[in-house]
């Protein structure tokens, strides 16, 4: 966590420093970015940097915490659905909002995996735990697989689908329109396959 002296800086100065660090970590990798170059980009001295953070890893942790906070804010809290159709509609809204955020914030996209890995069993996994639990209540999600494994797999599928669609858009693929990020043409079949039991039951009512 940042040291108290950093927290006493004006909010815009804190964001300027974290933003410069985020750009460097996104461009060069969470494990590879140079601390000296980050300090230079942030416009602070090395002495000041060590007054604000306990070193490179402390600064990286602050950056990744910010990335995760923005991802969760884009998703919004999961609210229990009244029926399978509403469940899928709410899931679609969340996935579209997350994809839109990542499309508009390339640095967050580049650091999303590192931020989520750092979160471990924290609020990111908690969001998908709520989704899976609600889906099981509604008969949408299978119950014959360990829930912890199912939650982890669900989170990984959603993240991979968003990254795939965004990479295709950045690459200029002719068959990758912006709607691919929000209509779930690739994501929903993956989730249905993951959530369906071996006998084909669960995974919803065919509305998606």
Query: What value, to the nearest 5°, has the Cα angle with vertex 108 and ends 9 and 61?
Result: 50
pTM: 0.80
Task: Quote the CA–CA distance of 71 and 109 in Å, as a whole number.
Answer: 9
What is the 8-class DSSP label of residue 178?
Answer: G
Q: Summarize the confidence of residues 106-128 as an average pLDDT.
A: 85
Count of C-beta atoms within a 10 Å radius of residue 41: 17
- Report residue 96 as tokens: 């579209």
**Least confident window among 27-36, 89-98, 181-190:** 181-190
Mean pLDDT of 115-140: 89
Is pLDDT above 80 for 166? no
Residue 181 scores a pLDDT above 60: no
Predicted pLDDT of residue 120: 65
């Amino acid at each position: 966590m940042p040291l108290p002296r950093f927290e006493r800086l004006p909010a815009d100065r804190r964001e300027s420093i974290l933003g410069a660090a985020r750009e460097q970590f996104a461009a060069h990798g969470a494990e590879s970015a140079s601390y000296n170059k980050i300090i230079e980009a942030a416009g602070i001295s090395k002495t000041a940097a060590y007054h604000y953070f306990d070193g490179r890893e402390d600064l990286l942790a602050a950056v990744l915490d910010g990335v995760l906070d923005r991802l969760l804010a884009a998703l919004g809290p999961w609210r229990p659905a009244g029926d399978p159709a509403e469940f899928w509609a709410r899931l679609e809204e969340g996935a579209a909002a997350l994809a839109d955020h990542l499309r508009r914030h390339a640095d967050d996209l580049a650091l999303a995996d590192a931020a989520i890995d750092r979160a471990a069993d924290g609020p990111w996994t908690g969001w998908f735990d709520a989704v899976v639990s609600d889906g099981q209540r509604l008969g949408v999600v299978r119950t014959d697989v360990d829930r912890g494994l199912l939650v982890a797999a669900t989170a990984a599928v959603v993240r991979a689908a968003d990254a795939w669609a965004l990479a295709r858009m950045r690459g200029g693929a002719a068959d990758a329109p912006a709607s691919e990020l929000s209509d779930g043409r690739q994501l929903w079949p993956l989730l249905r396959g993951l959530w369906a039991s071996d006998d084909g039951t669960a995974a919803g009512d065919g509305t998606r």
